[in-house]
């Protein structure tokens, strides 16, 4: 997967470099399932994008991707608030931006490894 597909933008890379302790905290929260609502949204919204989820699991990058999405989500919220929207509106608009990103990446072709993971995920969801 390419850097853009992994959401490794300049913004996410800079944030990761400047705030490693925050990234570690978020990783722990994901593992313990105690994430804040925005990180929770970024992680669990992936369940609706099975191809993307298969790709991320295949490359062992699911949690890191969700954290990158969370960073981008916060950036979008900030932009919407700066443009005069309420906090609640900013969250909803940021949610929509993230879903559009997920949908776009979900369209990427699958590698052979991704296809195997997708088949496993399909079987799990049908049980």
Contact 60, 5 (CB under 8 A): no
Domain ranges of the chain: 35-126
pLDDT value at residue 75: 96
Return d(Cα 72, Cα 78) in angstroms, integer. 10
Collapsed DSSP state (helix, strand, coil) of residue 111: coil
The model's pTM: 0.89
**Which positions of the chain have pLDDT values less than 70?**
1
pLDDT value at residue 66: 97
Secondary structure of 18-82 as H, E, C letters:
HCHHHHHHHHHHHHHCCCCHHHHHHHHHHHHCHHHHHHHHHCCCHHHHHHHHHHHHHHHHHHHHH
């Amino acid at each position: 997967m390419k850097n853009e597909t992994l959401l490794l933008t300049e913004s996410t890379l800079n944030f990761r470099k400047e705030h490693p302790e925050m990234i570690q905290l978020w990783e722990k929260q994901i593992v313990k399932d105690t994430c804040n609502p925005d990180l929770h949204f970024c992680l669990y919204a992936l369940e609706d994008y099975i191809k993307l989820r298969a790709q991320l699991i295949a490359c062992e990058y699911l949690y890191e991707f969700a954290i990158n999405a969370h960073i981008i989500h916060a950036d979008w919220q900030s932009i919407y608030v700066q443009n005069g929207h309420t906090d609640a509106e900013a969250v909803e608009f940021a949610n929509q931006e993230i879903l559009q990103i997920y949908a776009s990446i979900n369209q990427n072709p699958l590698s052979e490894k991704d296809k195997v993971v997708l088949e496993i995920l399909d079987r799990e969801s049908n049980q």
